[in-house]
Every structure is written in structure tokens, then in C-alpha cells.
Amino acid sequence: MFSNYLIGLREGLEAGLVVGILIAYLVKTGRRGALRPVWTGIAVAVVLALGFGCALEFGSRQLTFEAQEALGGSLSVLAVALVTWMVFWMRRTARHLRTDLHGRLDSALRAGTAALVATAFLAVGREGLETALFVWASVHAAGDGTPRPLIGAALGLATATLLAWLFYRGALRLNLSKFFTWTGGMLVVVAAGVLAYGVHDLQEAGLLPGLNRLAFDIGGVVDPSSWYGTLLKGVFNFQPDPTVLQVTVWLLYLIPTLALFLAPVGFASGKGKVKEPDEQGSRPSKASQT
């Protein structure tokens, strides 16, 4: 549940900040007439993300066991790739997010209503599709048959919506650079678990070898049905009897990815600190001034 809450919070807040930047810019520049097509594009993006999630959930139920495992494993790998790209992209481009969105809006305003709808849709739709895919992969990996993972994701999205609204109103200040660094690092850990479980799915589908070669089996020590076993499963997608290939892939992904993500940004920007985006309308945050 916690991992899905984190996914909903992180992805939802990114989308919320994008929406806040778009709305604040139009209000500030006196172009409130453009708000309706922007909200239309946002609504279409949300509906598309929900439809995509439902298609994954209900469409996969019609497949054979092997096909379900192959689909689940493949989409888990894809979800990890997208989320990994997303956390690095946000870390690298956060400082330019507001300027980039303003430029897109200016171009769309000159092009007409359809361009405004498309701009808002593309700005939010990517986050929505990534969220739907990664939540589905995480729920599929948890496999506990309860609604808790979806409840966690819904609570994360609700929290993100509240935070984004407080940012927009100027009622909340937060060092977004640190926030996205910490949540990004935790998402990398969650993604490692999703990737390992995706490999297990591909092994069960017969697409990867080594299903019977266990790295260890500590089921007698760590009871998966205990509170701590459930906690480990929910946060890290812990499995008491992983295969050798699962452990190998988990280590090969987690160690270099986390080390690269947490490394100083100076190698890319020439400075040791990233400025967070000015997502609070016309006023820069205190964090961005430090």
C-alpha cells in the first residue's frame, strides 16, 4: 500500500504542478478565456489514463495463465523503464519546467483552441499513463487480492491534489528539489522490486530460464503473511524465495541506478544544486531562492 501511495503522490504532484503552472500563467496574463480548453485537455488526459488502467486490468483477465504472466512481466519491465526515465528527467529539467510550459502555452494560444487542448493533454497525459501503468504493475506484483494497493494509490493522488492546490494558492512552501530527490530515490527502490517480480513473471511464462534455481528460501524465517512480511511485500515487493535471476537483476538495476540518481548534479550542470521549478504562480518559492 505504501509503495502505491508513493507512486500516486509523486506522479500526482508532478501532474498537479504542471496544471498549476498552466492555470497560473493564463490567469496572470489575463487570458482566462483559454482556461476552458486547457481544462478540457486535462480532463481528456485523466479519462484516458483511467481507461488505460481499466483496459490493462480487465483485458488481462481474458488471457491464459502463460499469456497473463508474459503480459505482466513485459509491462512491469516497461513500467520500470518509464519510471526510471521519469525520475531522471524530472531531476534534470525541473528548473526549466515553468519556462518550457509557458513557451508551449504561448505557441498554443497563437495556434487556436485545438492546440490549447492538445498542449494541456500532452502535458498531463504522460504523467497519467505512467501512473496507470506503474500502479497496475505494482498491484500485479503485490498480488494479494485486496483493494489496499489501489486505496494507497488513490490516497497518494488525493494528497498530491491537496498539495498542488496549496502550492497554487501560495499557502504552502516546500523544498521541491529535496522532495523529488527523496521520493525519486524511493521510487527507484520500488521499481527494483517491480522489475524483479516482472522477471519472475517472464520466467513463469517460459520466456526466461531459471525458474527453479532459487537464490535462497527464507520462508521459514520471514512469514509472508505476518505484519512485517506484508510490510516488506508492500514496500519492496519482497519475496522469500526469489530465483537467482531475480536477485541478479534486482542488484544490477538498484545499485547503479540509485547511485547515479543520488550523485551530485554537478556533472551535468556544473553546479552542485538543482533549483526547483517555480510552480507557485507568479511568486518564486523560498526554496528556489536558496
Q: What is the CA radius of gyration of the chain?
A: 20
What is the residue extent of each domain of the chain?
Answer: 2-284
Mean pLDDT score of the chain, rounded to an integer?
A: 80
pLDDT in tens, 53-100: 888 878 877 788 889 889 989 999 998 998 898 888 877 776 677 787
Query: Partners of 214 in the beta sheet?
Result: 243
CA 97 to centroid of chain Cα atoms: 17
Average pLDDT over residues 111-130: 83
Residue 190, Ramachandran bin (φ over 0: left; ψ between -120 and 50: alpha; else beta): alpha
Confidence of residue 259 (pLDDT cuts 50, 70, 90): very high
Which H or E element spans position 248?
A: helix 244-262
Q: Is the pLDDT of residue 205 over 70?
A: yes
According to the model, what pLDDT value does residue 146 have? 59
Q: Is the pLDDT of residue 135 over 70?
A: yes
Residue 214 sits at φ, ψ, to 5 deg, of -85, 140
Confidence of residue 253 (pLDDT cuts 50, 70, 90): very high
Nearest to residue 248, comparing CAs of 222, 215, 270? 215
Confidence of residue 281 (pLDDT cuts 50, 70, 90): very low
Asked whether 127 and 11 are in contact (CB, 8 A), the reply is yes
Average pLDDT over residues 6-20: 83
According to the model, what pLDDT value does residue 256 have? 95
